[in-house]
Amino acid sequence: MLNKKTLKDFDFKGKKTLVRVDFNVPMSKEEEGKIADDVRIRAALPTIEYLVNQGAKVILMSHMGRPKGEANPKFNLAPIAQRLSELLGKEVKFLDSPVVVDDGVRSGVEALQDGDVALLQNTRYRKEEEKNDPEFSKELAALGEIYVNDAFGTSHRAHASNVGVSTLLPSAVGYLVQKELDVMGKALADPERPFVSILGGAKVSDKIGVIQNLLEKVDTILVGGGMAYTFLKAQGKEIGRSLLEEDKIELATELMKRAEEKGVKLLLPVDAVIADEIAADAVTEIVDIDSIPAEKQALDIGPKTAEIFTEAIVGAKTVVWNGPMGVFEVKPFSQGTFAIAEALAKVDGVTIVGGGDSALAVEIAGYSDKLTHVSTGGGASLEFLEGKVLPGVDAIENA
Ligand code: AMP
């Protein structure tokens, strides 16, 4: 399905192979330099290990966080080089430079032996990275002979270390990008039915494209999270102080109409967990969706909704989930999201979680292994589900 060159299209033996990976991992807020979650590092291992076994000289590059074009030590990749060494069981040479590429880095690359692995410093230490600057792209490309994009999480961006470099070297996608695109691509193009999608999160405006695209493909859409209240308001319901995007009410009405025309079931919450405020010790109450008091906020789906959504999910053959059902970061409002994670784990079919908060919820709940695919890219998977072309993939040579 994917018409791009892959790792199988090249002979990597002795070749300096520049690999863009997504090591944009969350760091611990309590302890500086401690990695909070290494899922993204582990997701890059199949490509790195393959290249090592092929005898490539592997030069990895990634960004982490938002250092805003400066060598900010908070975003130093040194701890990542160390974790990667542990995971690979071999030394990763950290080619540290405040400007990412300099003479020291160039000689470090020249000293690499076949099968060695090196990591450059955070590409966002250079402001040119996010501008897809041609000069910075050239500096990076000059380090390698072949380029591999395995950073799915940044593929929706056109930056120097992905799009810029791929225009200057022979290029391929890595295993992670290939897997992400294959699994999600198949679900969208040729899903086993029933096909159910669950959408949540804060804003309708962030998900318009996804809803529009999925409405043409799915049998059922379950809408939860803060975005559900704009739909409920459009139905004339009193939503109290729940999240509302006034300027999207009309659009919500249109989307519900479109669903009806297409024969797509669009289900909204029938009950909610309400409170005065978002706080761990907030006093909560469960109410029917018609009974939200004017001064309260609805902050999670209620148990009846969780049951109805679960029933729709467990009977599905393809499920795509993006966005939490409530303010799941705060305990009293987390149950709805975890109920959905649990429902997905019970599905006898293809289950896909589109990164970001829902991926985190699945990970916390311990269900990641029970699902077909948990995407490593929140923004990238969202754009893919919208049907958009991802520039970081588009820039790779056609097969
Ligand atoms: P998104 O980035 O659009 O997927 O939104 C995720 C955020 O939506 C999370 O931080 C949740 O806390 C928030 N959220 C989910 N449901 C609600 C709700 N009912 N009210 C307010 N915020 C919500």
Q: Is 113 left (phi over 0), alpha (psi -120 to 50) or beta?
A: beta
pLDDT in tens, 133-172: 999 999 999 999 999 999 999 999 999 999 999 999 999 9
Q: Rounded to the nearest whole angstrom, what is the distance from the C-alpha of residue 305 to the centroid of ligand 1?
A: 17
SS3 94: strand
Q: Is 203 a catalytic residue?
A: yes
First to last CA, the chain: 11
Tell me what pLDDT residue 396 has. Answer: 98
pLDDT of 1 strictly over 80: no
Interatomic CA distance for residues 337 and 358, integer angstroms: 8
Averaged pLDDT score across all residues of the chain:
96
Is the beta carbon of 327 within 6 A of some atom in ligand 1?
Answer: yes
Half-sphere exposure of 220 (CA within 13 A, CB side): 21
Q: Which atom of ligand 1 is nearest to the CA of 356?
A: 4
Q: Is 153 a catalytic residue?
A: no
Phi, psi of 374, rounded to the nearest 5 degrees? -110, 115
Alpha helices in the chain (DSSP H): 39-43, 45-53, 78-88, 103-110, 134-141, 165-166, 175-189, 204-215, 228-234, 249-262, 303-314, 335-345, 356-365, 378-385, 391-394
Categorize the per-residue pLDDT at 31 as very low, low, confident or very high, splitting at 50, 70 and 90.
confident
Q: What angle do CA 43, 49, 50 make, to 5 degrees?
A: 110
Half-sphere exposure of 16 (CA within 13 A, CB side): 17
Q: Is 236 a catalytic residue?
A: no
User: For a pocket test of ligand 1, which of 231, 327, 340 has the largest count of ligand atoms closer than 8 A to its C-beta?
Assistant: 327
Q: What is the rounded average pLDDT of the residues 198-213?
A: 93
Catalytic one of 5, 16, 40, 83: 40
Catalytic one of 209, 379, 387, 388: 379
- What is the share, in percent, of the chain residues with pLDDT greater than 70? 100
Question: Considering only CA atoms, which of 282, 322, 321, 327 is closest in space to residue 301?
Answer: 327
Question: Considering only CA atoms, which of 40, 355, 312 is closest in space to residue 198?
Answer: 312
Catalytic one of 203, 258, 262, 388: 203
